[in-house]
Structure formats: C-alpha cells, structure tokens
Amino acid sequence: MTAGRIIDALQCGHFNRDSFLALRAGGYSAVTPTLGFWEDTMGSLEALGRWRDMERDNADLIRIARSSADILAAEREGKVAIVLGYQNSNLFGGRIRFVELFAELGIRVVQLTYNNQNELASSCYEAEDNGLARFGREVVREMNRVGMLVDLSHVGDRSSREAIEHSEAPVAITHANAHSLYPHKRNKSDETIRALAARGGVIGCVAYRNITPDAACATVDGWAGMVARTVDIAGVNHVGIGTDISHNHTPRDYDWMRRGQWTRGVDYGAGSPDRPGAVPKPEWLKSPDALRDVGPALRRVGFSGEETAKILRGNWLRLYARVFDRA
Amino acid sequence: MTAGRIIDALQCGHFNRDSFLALRAGGYSAVTPTLGFWEDTMGSLEALGRWRDMERDNADLIRIARSSADILAAEREGKVAIVLGYQNSNLFGGRIRFVELFAELGIRVVQLTYNNQNELASSCYEAEDNGLARFGREVVREMNRVGMLVDLSHVGDRSSREAIEHSEAPVAITHANAHSLYPHKRNKSDETIRALAARGGVIGCVAYRNITPDAACATVDGWAGMVARTVDIAGVNHVGIGTDISHNHTPRDYDWMRRGQWTRGVDYGAGSPDRPGAVPKPEWLKSPDALRDVGPALRRVGFSGEETAKILRGNWLRLYARVFDRA
C-alpha cells in the first residue's frame, strides 16, 4: 500500500523514538536524516554508530536502507526507511578512498558543501563560486561508482551546474526552493533546476521558513501551490519533498550548524540579523506527521493521483533506484 | 585441491604484486597481512583503502576474504585469500561502536595490544600485567558479536588468559612460539597455550628469528620439530602457522613498529641491544614461497597427512569458520 506514502529527502536534528512514531504516523516511506554538518571522519563515524544503535533499539519502527529494495521492504513491514546522509563532505577527510568505505557502511547521500567552500566546491554563501574543484570532480565520479547520491542543496550555483554536468548519474537538490519563487542565496536558479531535471535529477521542495514564501508557510495549500510552481520549472517527474524539518533542535545545535569550528564571529546561516535564531515552523507543519496533509493538498491544487504519488514518493524512489542500485 | 595449501595467520610489511606472486607460488590458501601497528582510525582506514586498491589491481592473484567460504572460493579460483588484520586496536579509536563498522568493512583479525599497554589490556613487554581492562572486556565481546578474531600474540600473559576466558568465541595467538621452547617475553607459557586450546583456539608458530630457536631457523626440519613440540603442548587441532614474514621492510618501518609516536628513546621490540636491527630471515625461509617446504618437513618429523593438513591449513580454517561465519 503506497498511496499517500511519503519520501522526505532531508530532515535534521536529534531523532528519537518519538520522532520515529511521528514519521510512521505521517505515512513516511523513507526519510534522510542529517548525520553531520561539520563533523570530521571520526565524528561522522560516531554519528553512524549512534544510528546503528537507534536502528537496533527501534527495529520495530525503522530500517536503515541501502537500496530501493530496502525501502520497499520497509514499506511492506510498516517501517520507515532511513536513508543515511551528510550535509557536508568532511566525512571523507580529503581521502578519495574513503568514499567507497562510507558507501559500504551504508551512507547513501552526501552534500558536496555545507555553508562554506571546501576542497570540493563553493557554497551558496561564498562571494564567488569558482566551480567544481579538482577534488570535487574526483569525489563526484567516485560517488557515482559506489552508488551515492550527490546533493547540491547548499552548493553554489556554478559549482552545482558543473556537478550536474560532470556526474555520470543524476544528482539531487534534496532541500531547496526555486530562487524565482523566493529569492534567497540558498534557493536555486531556474536554469540550474532545469539542468538538474534534464539529467534526470530531482529537487526537494523545502518547508523551512527562512527560504520559503510566506504563503507556503501559512497553509498546506499554499505550500502545495509552491510545489506546483516548482513543477512548472522542473517538470512533474523531477520534483519531490525535502522539508528540512528539524527534530529536537536546541540553540547549541544552531550554533554548531552556523559557526561550527570555523568562526568566532556571527553567522546566521539561512537567517539574517532580523531573523537571528530559530524561526517558527510553518503553521501547517508543527509536527512531522502533519506532512500527510500534503497529498490531499496537491490534489486540491490540481495534480492527478499519479502526479501526486510521483511528488510524494515516486520521483525520489526512481532516483534512489538509479543511483543506489547501480553499485 | 587443498593438499599442501597453507594458511599463514600473520605476515607484515609492504605487499606488492611480487609478494602475491610469491604467495601463490608457495601454495598459500590465505594470509593475514598487518594493516597497522600504531595507526589511529584515520591511518587504519587509509591502510584499508590501499588494500582495496591492491585487490582491484591484482584481482587475478588475490581476493579479500570475509568468511571461510571466501577462502574456499579463492582456493577454487587459484587466488590467495587476504584476511585483513591489525596488530593493535587503535583503529577503534576508543569507540565501542567502531568495532562493528570495521567488521563491516572486512576487518577480521585484531590484536588487543601491540607492544604497549593500552585501554584494552597489557602487553607482553610491560613490567606488570593487570589483566583485561574494562574497555578490553567490552571490545572482546563486541568482536565476538560481529565475527572478528581476537589475537593475543603480543598481549601480556595475564591479559591473554583473561581474554581467553572472557571471550565467547575461541581466540588466537596468531604469531608466537611456546616460551618453554624459547624463553622470550613475546612467547607464551604452556599454561596459556593450553587454556587457549581448551577453548578451541589456535596458536600460529613463528619463524621470526628473535623469538624462534636457532635450530628452527637453521633448517625447515628444525622448524617442523619445533611445531611438533608445540603440538605436544596444545594438541594437533590447535597449532597452525603464523610466520611473521615481512615484505619489503625498511629501517624506517622497524623504527615505526618499535617506537611509533610513543617514545623519543630506543626500543628494540623483540630484539635487544645485541640484536638492535633487522635480524636475518631463517635460512630455510628467505622467500615466502619457501613455506611450501613445511608440509613435507612435517611429514618427516612424524605427522600423518591428515595432521599435516590441519597444521598447514585446517586448524585456521576451522577457527575462521567458527569466528567469522557467526556474524
């Protein structure tokens, strides 16, 4: 039974049993939690180890998925599939050989950069983006080989377009909106979204207030309308959901996400001096299980049942199968 | 065709294609190379990555084995199985959760301590051995769970005996001789060897001059005689081969093995002020392929064909099956 089942390509924060119960109640088929932002190899392995423990402790609710078949199995078992991902490439520690090792440990999604330029590429917040760098070109191809999905959500525009072109497999923008719908450095140009779609990729629409139109934060129908406008850009086969929902975030977590170990100064991330701290969740999405209301809303804004199923689940599942299952 | 096939539970140094050709010429079924002595998690992962590359580059000669079935498959394919191991537990970085992750990456043998006491246990060179420590007890049980062989070769005597008792699976002394045959801190008491055998473990007889009787270095028949005396202690089902053959070692490698990053002073390892540097290889074992002469020598000192096959290969294979295949 997959009608109404949802794949959310990006959430973050501290998951616990209550999180998993909420995801199951919401009809989630799969979700990608964020295992790291600035963490190095050791910290990334530690996060992975904690997720292994969480899987053992909540084996009735979740299942770490390494393939599209694992996601289908989780659906049959009434569990939520966990597709492990990082929002930065620091886990690789600058070693090309570590890509294969992390893939073997079950990591399936890695964003090339978080908020800062690194050895791979430039981020959306740098003053200039000089494109996909030498190590980035190596890592993208190695991720292709071992079946990892390249995520470009926080990556700079030029770097993103070069990664789309350089990758042999389709890539993802797991959590960003269209810049033409809400101008913000984190959101993507129509040109980049179209290039992504042309190569078979998928963009996940966000429900994070700092980068999402007010109307899309006010009501679920408003958000469904934003999805429809994104479909106008990318096509109905290339849009999915990537809410950026956070679980149990504390001020300390925001501090880590924004400042990591790289600055003693202030950084607002997607916020601004006017919005320095945590922003309120969208009115219609105060809890992860409320995401189940998106399906009916997509029908109300005019999508057919088949189209709705693609946006909720099918487009990500197709991309996951193409990327994960080739290894 | 397994007659004459050999499993060597411990070699070290820089393997290359010539090494693999020599191993194949010697009739090796499997060998455990040393991936690390003092290396931390990063260095240990790097060594693993290099072995992945070596496997790809020499796929006609070697195969990394994760199970007894993989060893049998390598034999059928005319390849040498590589059973990955470390001579220290620094790869775990003090994290119990990393044991599972390294097991999943194919690591099958880990020695609890190299030449120094660590968080797990005391080494054979410490002035006193206060037994298997708290973290050591955790790691031994976790290695049991995930199918890793506990190696006690450089571990202190009391720590070794406590690890033998604490482990739920049989354990190994992959490369040491009997102290009663050659008194040296690195060699094991008859009591420890008997305790190991009583729990189903195996001791690998060494051909490293610093810890091996002169007669056993002079001729292969002398070495076979030493093996026979070890069988007198442990029983014929509990003795195998663990030569400690080194490939392409340089003075810098000896320096790393002995001093690592832990001293500015002098440490002789198994050597002594009289034997400070590299010692000559045994007269009969100048090249790894000469190990094929051990089988006939074991027959000459009185072992039956069946007993010889156990010592050459069968005892390690049984232990590997029991430990590796339970995960």
pLDDT tens by residue, A176-192: 999 999 999 999 999 99
Minimal-distance CA residue of chain B relative to A101: B105
DSSP letter at A313?
I
Say if CB B79 and CB B21 are below 8 A apart. no
Q: How far is CA A199 from CA A112, A149, A161, in A?
A: 18, 13, 11
Mean pLDDT of A30-35: 98
Angle between helices A220-234 and A190-198 (to 10 degrees): 70
Interchain contact A300–B (C-beta under 8 A): no
Mean pLDDT of A55-71: 98
Residue B278 is predicted with a pLDDT of 85
Residue A1 lies in a domain: no
| A48, A51, A97, best to mutate vs chain B, most B CBs in 10 Å | A97
| Whether residue B1 has pLDDT greater than 60 | no
Q: Mapping DSSP to helix (H, G, I), strand (E, B) and coil, where does residue A168 land?
A: coil
Q: Is residue A35 scored above 90 in pLDDT?
A: yes
Asked if the Cβ–Cβ distance from B104 to A100 is below 8 Å, we say no
- Residue A267 in domain: yes
CB contact under 8 A, B97 and A42: no
Chain B residues near residue A93 by CB distance under 8 angstroms? 42
| 8 Å CB contact between A16 and A61 | no
The pLDDT assigned to A277 comes to 81
Residue B186 within any structural domain of the chain: yes
Q: Does the CB of B93 have a partner CB in chain A at under 8 Å? A: yes
Residue of A46, A98, A100 lying closest to B95 (CB–CB): A46
Write the CA distances from B108 to A153, B8, B103, B262, integer angstroms: 38, 14, 6, 26
H/E/C letters for each residue in chain B? CCCCCEEECCEEECCCHHHHHHHHHCCEEEECCECCCCCCHHHHHHHHHHHHHHHHHCCCCEEECCCHHHHHHHHHCCCEEECCEECCCHHHCCCCHHHHHHHHCCCCEEECCCCCCCCCCCECCCCCCCCCCHHHHHHHHHHHHHCCEEECCCECHHHHHHHHHHCCCCCEECCCCECCCCCCCCCECHHHHHHHHHCCCEEEECCCHHHCCHHHHHCHHHHHHHHHHHHHHHCCCCEEECCCEEECCCHHHHHHHHHCCCCCCCCCCCCECCECCCCCCCCCCCCHHHHHHHHHHHHHCCCCHHHHHHHHHHHHHHHHHHHHCCC
* A165 interfacial to chain B (CB closer than 8 Å): no
Q: With 90 as the cut, is the pLDDT of residue B36 above it?
A: yes
Contact A145, A137 (CB under 8 A): no
Could you tell me if residue B9 is inside a domain? no
Mean pLDDT of chain B: 96
* CB–CB contact B49 A104 (8 Å): no
Residues of A within 8 A of B52 (CB-CB) are 97, 100-101
Nearest CA distance, A108 vs chain B (angstrom): 16
Tell me the per-residue pLDDT of B267-296, one tens digit each, with 9 for 90 and over: 989 999 988 888 999 999 999 999 999 999
**B57 touching A (Cβ < 8 Å):** no
How many angstroms separate the CA of residue A201 from the nearest CA in chain B?
Answer: 30
Within 8 A of A49 by CB-CB distance, chain B residues are 95, 97-98, 100-101
| Cα A233 from Cα A220, distance rounded (Å) | 20
CB under 8 Å to A71, separation ≥6 — which residues?
Answer: A7, A29, A30, A65, A81, A83, A317, A320
A-chain residues within 8 Å CB-CB of B56?
Answer: none
Tell me, what's the pLDDT at B68? 98
What is this model's ipTM?
Answer: 0.88
Q: How does pLDDT run across A213-243, given as a tens digit for each residue?
A: 999 999 999 999 999 999 999 999 999 999 9
Q: What are phi and psi of A241, to 5 degrees?
A: -115, 135
pLDDT of B326 over the 90 cut: no
Contact B93 A41 (CB under 8 A): no
Instruction: Give the pLDDT band (50/70/90) at residue B89.
Output: very high
Q: Compute the mean pLDDT over every residue in chain A, rounded to the nearest whole number.
A: 96
The pLDDT tens digits for B146-169 are 999 999 999 999 999 999 999 999
Q: Which of A75-89, A91-105, A257-271, B81-95 has the lowest mean pLDDT?
A: A257-271
Within-domain flag for A161: yes
- Residues A14 and A248: beta-carbon distance below 8 Å: yes
Asked if the model's pLDDT at residue B171 lies above 80, the reply is: yes
Structural contact between residues A30 and A79, judged by C-beta atoms closer than 8 angstroms: no
Q: How many domains does chain B have?
A: 1
- Asked if residue A39 has pLDDT above 70, the reply is yes
Orientation angle between helical segments B41-57 and A97-104, nearest 10 degrees = 100
H or E stretch covering A9: none
Task: State residue A326's pLDDT score.
Answer: 78
Burial of A223 (0-12, 13-18, 19+ CB in 10 A): buried
Token pair 């309308």 in the structure block, residue: A225
Whether chain A has a CB inside 8 Å of the CB on B48: the answer is yes
pLDDT value at B81 more than 80: yes
Q: Where are the beta strands (DSSP E) in A39-116?
A: 62-64, 80-82, 85-86, 109-111
For residue A154, which amino acid is it?
H
Which residues of chain B are within 8 Å of residue A327 when distances are taken between CB atoms?
Answer: none
Q: Alpha helices, DSSP H only, in A97-219?
A: 97-104, 134-146, 157-166, 190-198, 214-218
The whole-number pLDDT of residue B17 equals 98
B105 vs A104: CB contact, 8 Å cut-off? yes
CA of A86 vs chain B CAs: smallest distance (Å): 17
- Within 10 angstroms of residue B183's Cβ, the number of other Cβ atoms is 9
Q: Which residue has the tokens 């080194």?
A: B246
> Does A2 have pLDDT greater than 90?
no
Question: Does position A313 have pLDDT exceeding 90, yes or no?
Answer: yes
Closest CA of chain A from B43, distance in Å: 11
Q: Residue A4: which pLDDT band, with cuts at 50, 70 and 90?
A: confident
Confidence of residue B327 (pLDDT cuts 50, 70, 90): low
Tokens of residue B236, six digits: 């014929």
Tokens of A19: 């999180």
Does residue B39 belong to any structural domain of this protein? no
- Taking residues A83-106, report their average pLDDT: 98
pLDDT of residue A66: 98
How many CB atoms are closer than 10 A to CB A17?
13
Three-state DSSP state, A127: coil
Tell whether B95 is within 8 A of chain A (Cβ): yes
Domain residues for the domain of B138 are 88-324
**Confidence class of residue B60 from pLDDT cuts 50, 70 and 90?**
very high
Distances (CA, A) of A1 to A4, A5, A72, A77, B287: 9, 8, 10, 11, 63
Contact A277, A254 (CB under 8 A): yes
What CATH number has the domain bearing residue B172?
A: 3.20.20.140
Give the helix, strand, coil percentages of chain A, each rounded to 5: 45, 15, 45
Judged by CB atoms closer than 8 Å, whether chains meet at B41 and A46 is answered as no
Position B266 in a domain? yes
What is the reported pTM? Answer: 0.93
Tokens describing residue A324: 């994960």
* DSSP string over A267-301: --TT-BTTB-SPPPPPTT-SSGGGGGGHHHHHHHT
Looking at residue B275, what is its pLDDT? 87
Token code pair at residue A128:
């200039």
Q: What per-residue confidence (pLDDT) applies to A327?
A: 65
Subunit contact B46:A95, Cβ cutoff 8 A = yes
Q: Per the structure block, which two tokens stand in for B273?
A: 């002020």
Q: Tell me the C-alpha distance between A109 and A187, whole Å.
A: 19
- Distance (Å, whole) CA A307 – CA A315: 10
Q: Residues near A223 by Cβ (< 8 Å), separated by ≥ 6?
A: A205, A207, A212, A216, A217, A282, A284, A285, A294, A297
Residue A217 lies in a domain: yes
Q: What is the pLDDT at residue B100? A: 98
Chain B touched by A57 (CB under 8 Å): no
Residues with Cβ within 8 Å of B228's Cβ and at least 6 positions away in sequence, in order, are B298, B301, B302, B303
Q: What is the tens place of the pLDDT at every residue in A154-166?
A: 999 999 999 999 9
Count of Cβ atoms closer than 10 Å to residue A298 Cβ: 26
